[in-house]
Amino acid sequence: MAEIRLDNISKTFNEDRVVKNISLTIKDGSFTVLVGPSGCGKSTILRMLAGFEKQTEGDIWIDDKLVNDLAPSKRDIAMVFQNYALYPTMTVKGNIEFGLANRKIPKKERRQLVEEIAEIVGLSDHLNKKPDKLSGGQRQRVALARAMVKKPKVFILDEPLSNLDAKLRTQMRTELIQLHKKLGTTFVYVTHDQVEAMSMGDEIIILNKGMVQQKAAPIDVYQNPRNLFAAEFIGQPPMNVFDRTAYEGIVEPVPEGVRYIGFRPEHASVSRTAASIPHTIELESEILTLETLGAETIYKVKNRIGVMNIRSFSAPVAKDGCCFVSIPLEKFYPFGADKIAKPELDLSMKKEAVLNGIG
């Protein structure tokens, strides 16, 4: 168990500052997910945490210990990567036991530990197999077991599921959540997949260009994104965002200080006929495309505001042609010119229902 604290951490590679003044605390026992687009600095942060890379500035604390100059092997951290290199000539048992190399542990105790960990990750029946006789998920579990056998204070997982197919990835996601519950150890997990971040993390840290955009529980990020980046990064399809000028004559007046207005695709609805609901804007729209996913339908529509995605859980209204899109004013997210959310500038009471044709 361990709390991790990054204090004003920066990293520069050849004059390129890829991590910029990051300060954050990763709570003891949490499942914290670092998420962000490719190149935003996720792996660099992990590598600094684990000690494989030295930060250019700042301090790293694990519990009350300053670990800036501590070798990776002394940090009590275990890492699992996406390319989990198992030894092909060793059995599962041998591979797991290898995690204990250089730790003078008596043979009997070693065997006990391996069996205990194999049981936790569901590999007990496969201990004598070689990796080529295992499925992708089982191999990933061997890599996890090899890390777990060291009983580290912190697990660092760098996109560990990205080599698995979609179905197995979903299954392993659940297994990792359960494993975390069972162990109670601090997990720091890196992914660029926002669905993975939302479903696994009890806290997520959204990064962009080496800076923290938001750190909060997944539901908080979804409901109260701190800025435009977090708003557009979390949610599928992403939030529809338009400049204030797109709302001219539709939301009047847009308060001073609001530069962008967004709404989530699932907060709008589509119908064949106009409904004129109070405090809701209604836009006559043209259906451009429609994806039927079974339980939900994703529409791409065009109207006076622009082209937007709507996510609906009702039966599809039509494949093409005209429809009416309703967006409750209370579901709008205002942002300032600095792209920071301005929840205090509430738009919800500004206007009764209006009906607008395609511009």
Q: Is the Cα torsion angle 77, 52, 38, 208 positive or negative in sign?
A: positive
Site string for ligand ATP, 29-48 (x = CB under 6 A): -------x-xxxxxxx----
H or E, element range at 169: helix 166-183
Residue 81 or 324: the one with the smaller Cβ distance to ligand ATP is 81
Nearer to ligand ATP (CB atom), residue 60 or residue 113: 60
State the nearest-atom distance from the C-beta of 158 to ligand ATP, in Å: 8
Tokens of 22: 């990051």
Pattern 167-196, ligand ATP, x by CB under 6 A:
-------------------------x----
Strands 31-35 and 186-191 turn out to be parallel
Q: For the residues of 300-311, what is the DSSP string, one character each? A: EEE-SS-EEEEE
At its nearest, how many Å lie between ligand ATP and the CB of residue 186?
A: 20
Q: Is 153 in the site for ligand ATP (CB under 6 A)?
A: no
Nearer Cβ to ligand ATP, position 173 or 304?
Answer: 173
Token pair, residue 348, equals 């919800």
Which residue lies nearer to ligand ATP by CB, 36 or 51? 36
Nearer to ligand ATP, 37 or 306 (CB): 37
Q: Which residues pair with 5 in a beta bridge?
A: 25, 61
Nearest distance, CB of residue 356 and ligand ATP, angstroms = 41
Taking 3-state DSSP, the helix, strand and coil percentages for the chain, each rounded to the nearest 5, stand at 30, 30, 40
d(CA 203, CA 233): 16
Instruction: Closer to ligand ATP by CB, 14 or 89: give it.
Output: 14
Q: What CA–CA distance (Å, rounded) separates 314 from 346?
A: 28
Residue 52 touching ligand ATP (CB under 6 A): no
Closest approach, Cβ 179 to ligand ATP, in A, equals 23
User: How far apart are CB 82 and ligand ATP at their closest, in Å?
Assistant: 9
Angstrom distances, CA of residue 61 to CA of 19, 46, 74, 254, 343: 17, 13, 13, 46, 34
| 213 in contact with ligand ATP (CB under 6 A) | no
**Residue 15 within binding range of ligand ATP, rule CB under 6 A:** no
Pairing state between β 203-208 and 31-35: parallel
What is the Cα–Cα distance from 340 to 250, expressed in whole angstroms?
23
Shortest approach of ligand ATP to residue 39 CB, angstroms? 4
Contacting positions for ligand ATP (CB under 6 A): 13, 18, 36, 38-44, 192
